[in-house]
Amino acid sequence: MRIVVGVTGGIAAYKTVQLVRLLVTDGHDVHVIPTENALRFVGAPTWEAISRNPVTTSVHDDVPRVRHVALGQAADLVVIAPATAHTLAKMAAGLADDLLGTTLLATTAPVVVAPAMHTEMWRHPATRANIETLRKRGVRVVGPDSGRLTGDDSGPGRMVEPERLKDELDGLLRPAAVAPGPAGNDLEGMRVVVSAGGTREPIDPVRYIGNRSSGRQGVALALAAADRGAEVTLLAAHVEEGVLTEAHAHPRIQVQPAGTATELGEGVRTAAGDADVVVMAAAVADYRVAEVSETKLTKDSAPGGGLELRLVENEDILAGLARDRRAGQTIVGFAAETVASDEELVERARRKRERKGADLLAANAVGWSAGFETPDNAVVVVDARGEVVARAGGTKREVAEAVLDAIAAVRAGA
């Protein structure tokens, strides 16, 4: 595939070197178009060496081959990484004052942007409006991630890691790059409900009990199912900033927000009414605060130096779905377990699947540093006979595809 990588003036340009490297390693013909400002961060020799193609920023170079439009016309995919606030504004307005601008106007290929900027700039109404405009035009927005930024600040604005961006690009390239296999559109006509993220149980108007789920695995499942032809309802509890962007843009995904376990339960049950498959990937709080305070709790609320909160159990949504399932409906659970060995993980997965009555349960090992807030995951999937029907490791998208394969196999009676 011929891929144009536009690089604009942000420090995250160094991450794009790795992206280009990954794409070239996969055999793609990569053409880098840096802006003048991008060259202040990473110079042309680096881009030429890594991409193995000449690099220019000027519309006046290589005029006989009409380079200012030729690259865009011939591209199968254009990705802008990092995409600064300024570049997003230029793209939204259709400005073409440099080679990247003319290329973007000349291309009919899918365009992906990976924004990178400080949190204030990302949240500015002008940037929000530009992103909205681009999204409506079909541009895919990947990220930004939340985390440490260039200065002392942190928040949403970090460019996504190159591996994750590559993963997204692979997803876009797949249909054209690979001959349509059995999985191509194998979920067409199917209605799939996916829950994702972590519920938040309020304590008072400003505090809550939450968990570390980023929502990435659930959203990856929704995207994978939709790309395979399913109509997807994605019930999103709290997810990390940027994780939902692509799902919002997907024509076959309907995103519905859900805050607490109770709200999530209501949303999932309603959506499950006519669903063929329900996947509970959300991290649902087992307990909620019995009496939510209408006013902010202060230290005076708990004289004596301690605060006791009484918690009451939330309904088990998955168990309820499994109990009430219609004929032909497939109910799938997820479980994050702290375990010492693979055997223990499989054993816990078996017991949990049985306790909940789900058709399949995908379990992954977690710890202080594993399983959360990362692009990667590893799961074992057990079925109603207690057998391990799938094992998958890799990006959350790859894990999602494997879980969907297992679901398709169960539904086919395999």
- Would you tell me the crossing angle of helices 396-411 and 216-227 to the nearest 10 degrees? 60
Q: Which residues pair with 383 in a beta bridge?
A: 360
Q: Give the nearer residue to ligand CTP in terms of CB position, either 41 or 334.
A: 334
Looking at residues 343 to 372 of the shown chain, list those that interact with ligand CTP (rule: CB under 6 A).
356
Single residue of 7, 221, 318, 390 touching ligand CTP by CB under 6 A: 318
CB of 405 to ligand CTP, least distance (A): 19
Residue 167 or 240 with smaller CB distance to ligand CTP: 240
Find the shortest distance in angstroms from Cβ 396 to ligand CTP: 15
Give 340's contacts (C-beta < 8 A, 6+ positions apart): none
Nearest to 329 by CA among 410, 233, 244: 410
314 is catalytic: no
Residues 214-273 binding ligand CTP (CB under 6 A) are 261
What are φ and ψ of residue 154, in 5° steps?
-145, 160
Judged by CB under 6 A, the stretch of 6-14, 330-338, 365-373, 375-383 that binds ligand CTP is 330-338
Of residues 80 and 318, the one with the C-beta less far from ligand CTP: 318
Q: Which of 185, 211, 364, 377 is catalytic?
A: 211
Q: Which residues, in sequence order, are CB contacts of 156 under 8 Å at separation 6+?
A: 119, 122, 123, 144, 145, 146, 241, 242
Task: Rule CB under 6 A: say whether 314 interacts with ligand CTP.
Answer: yes
Cβ 202 to ligand CTP shortest distance, Å? 16
The alpha carbon of residue 326 and the mean position of all alpha carbons in its chain are separated, in whole angstroms, by 30
> Applying CB under 6 A, which of residues 4, 5, 317, 410 lies at the interface with ligand CTP?
317
Cβ of 179: how many Cβ atoms within 10 Å?
A: 7
**DSSP category for residue 40:** G
> Prior bond to 202 cis, omega within 30?
no
Residue 350 CB, nearest approach to ligand CTP (Å): 13
Span interacting with ligand CTP, options 39-47, 228-236, 312-320, 386-394, rule CB under 6 A: 312-320
Residue 144 has what DSSP assignment? P
**Binding-site string for ligand CTP from residue 267 to residue 306, where x marks contact by CB under 6 A and - marks none:** -------------x-x-x-x--------------------
> For 53, what's the count of Cα atoms within 13 Å in the CB-facing half-sphere?
19
The amino acid sitting at 303 is P
Q: What is the enclosing helix (H) or strand (E) of 130?
A: helix 125-136
Q: Is 335 in the site for ligand CTP (CB under 6 A)?
A: yes
Total chain residues near ligand CTP (CB under 6 A): 13
Give the count of beta carbons closer than 10 Å to the beta carbon of residue 111. 22
Q: List, by residue number, the catalytic residues.
A: 211
- Give the residues lining the site for ligand CTP (CB under 6 A): 261, 280, 282, 284, 286, 314, 316-318, 333-335, 356
